[in-house]
């Protein structure tokens, strides 16, 4: 691969709210294995406290997703504020997100037919993201200077790929809620996440038993009527199920309960779903601003096999998830072909998603031998009740990777870094710099 990145533009530092920010745009290969091939643009925002020394060590942030852009900070607060006490931070918009050659249905359409679009998207997984980061490191820091990686959720997956193939670029690694199942098939992962979704539903209905009938009423109304969302597509029971994504975050049960509180109003024809409710449902169940999340979600697990809509296949093993089950079960981030029908802006990508689901020659994302022999210090937090990244596989990976210290807690859900970021990052940094054993390692 070509190691150096070509800066397209780097802005002067801008001072705001006690921080200095600089924008960096880089020209990078679409396919790092091809010399002088097609290029894309990758964006990263450099941020440091006002007056910070140029000698501060660097940290690079990998966002969750897949398909999520980096945060747009407004000041020295939260986990970013904690990092800036000791580091200069680079917020990377992973390729296809934010200002990095963004992937949307309308931009993909310029590539040609569905096969051409799918071929293009094969270069938007963790292996390519890590190679982008290495090129940027060489350009901004120099080949000899390393940085620390911090990754939330899918960002942690990316860092395990980084440790597999380019550990020479890393001084250390912090992972928040994203210790990937490096040894397991995608179906093994979804079997556990389905069970955790069922557990969250049980807890939800125990806490709000009055919502059992309320949810049934909503589903019945959706099934028996042509309920149109603001975008002009019909609201289906399957799309309504996807609101279970709420359950993966802190206060998620409450968010669901409050959403349903005023679902119905009395209209001209009698009892009907309120327009405000439908607006909120569409907003909460839409992946249209991040199509990568939907059409490439299962590929983040694939190494040498086709995922073939694994989560959808496994629904048969969990009859509780049927929309006509006695108690309606909300699901999580299990993507399915029906999403390409239910989400208007994603409808043009239906064939593209199918091609990617049937692709069987995905490359390696992890080097298990290299991970076992890893010497880069890794400090991770895993959430015992995590609905998205099962603790069982997180612990298995932590046992396999060398020099890995894991903090397991049920104090937070998957979004812990957004709830109590300074405390979490502070402890992870302390753990990273302390060679004494902690947790599993």
Residues labelled catalytic: 153, 361, 414
For residue 246 the two structure tokens come to: 């709420």
For residues 204 and 255, give the distance between their C-alpha atoms in angstroms, rounded to a whole number.
11
Q: Are strands 39-49 and 88-93 parallel, antiparallel or unpaired?
A: antiparallel
Instruction: Find, among 403, 399, 395, the residue nearest to 376 by Cα.
Output: 403
Report CA-CA distances (Å) from 135 to 89, 122, 127, 282, 331: 17, 19, 13, 39, 39
> End-to-end distance of the chain based on CA atoms, in angstroms?
34
Name the 3-class secondary structure at 360: coil
Return all residues near 213 (Cβ < 8 A) that are at least 6 apart: none
Q: Is 268 helix (H, G, I), strand (E, B) or coil?
A: coil
Farthest CA pair distance, the chain: 71
Listing DSSP states for 57-123 in one string gives PEEEEE-STTTPPPP---SS-HHHHHHHTT-EEEEEE-TTSTTSS---HHHHGGG-SHHHHHHHHTT
């Amino acid at each position: 691969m070509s190691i150096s990145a070509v800066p397209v533009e780097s802005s002067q530092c801008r001072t705001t709210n006690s921080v200095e920010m600089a924008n960096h745009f880089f020209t990078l290969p679409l396919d790092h294995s091809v010399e002088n091939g097609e290029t894309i643009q990758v964006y990263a925002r450099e941020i440091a406290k006002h007056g910070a020394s140029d000698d501060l060590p660097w940290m690079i942030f990998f966002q969750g997703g897949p398909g999520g852009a980096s945060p747009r900070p407004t000041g020295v607060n939260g986990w970013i504020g904690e990092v800036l006490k000791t580091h200069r931070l680079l917020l990377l918009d992973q390729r296809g997100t934010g200002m990095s050659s963004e992937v949307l249905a309308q931009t993909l359409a310029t590539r040609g037919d569905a096969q051409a679009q799918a071929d293009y998207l094969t270069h938007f997984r963790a292996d390519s993201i890590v190679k982008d980061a290495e090129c940027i490191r060489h350009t901004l820091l120099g080949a000899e200077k390393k940085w620390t990686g911090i990754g939330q959720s899918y960002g942690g997956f990316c860092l395990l790929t980084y440790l597999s193939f380019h550990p020479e670029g890393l001084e250390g690694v912090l992972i928040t809620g994203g210790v990937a199942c490096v040894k397991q098939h995608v179906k093994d992962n979804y079997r556990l996440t389905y069970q955790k979704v069922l557990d969250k539903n049980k807890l939800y209905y125990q806490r709000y038993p009055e919502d059992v009938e309320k949810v049934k009423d909503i589903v019945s109304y959706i099934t028996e009527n042509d309920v149109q969302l603001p975008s002009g597509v019909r609201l289906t029971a399957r799309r309504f199920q996807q609101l279970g994504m709420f359950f993966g975050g802190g206060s998620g049960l409450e968010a669901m309960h409050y959403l349903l509180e005023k679902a119905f109003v009395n209209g001209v024809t009698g009892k009907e779903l309120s327009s405000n409710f439908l607006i909120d449902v569409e907003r909460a169940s839409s992946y249209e601003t991040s199509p990568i999340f939907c059409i490439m979600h299962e590929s983040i697990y694939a190494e040498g096999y086709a995922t073939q809509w694994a989560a959808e296949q496994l629904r048969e093993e969990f009859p509780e998830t049927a929309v006509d089950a006695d108690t309606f079960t909300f699901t999580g981030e299990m993507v399915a072909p029906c999403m390409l029908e239910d989400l208007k802006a994603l409808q043009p990508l239906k064939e593209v998603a199918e091609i990617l689901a049937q692709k069987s020659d995905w490359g390696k994302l992890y080097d298990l031998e290299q991970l076992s022999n890893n010497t880069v210090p890794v400090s991770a937090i895993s959430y015992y009740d995590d609905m998205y990244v099962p603790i069982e596989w997180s612990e298995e990976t932590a046992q396999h990777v060398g020099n890995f210290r894991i903090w397991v807690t049920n104090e937070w859900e998957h979004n812990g870094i957004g709830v109590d970021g300074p405390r979490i990052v502070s402890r992870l940094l302390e753990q990273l710099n302390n060679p004494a054993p902690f947790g599993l390692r």
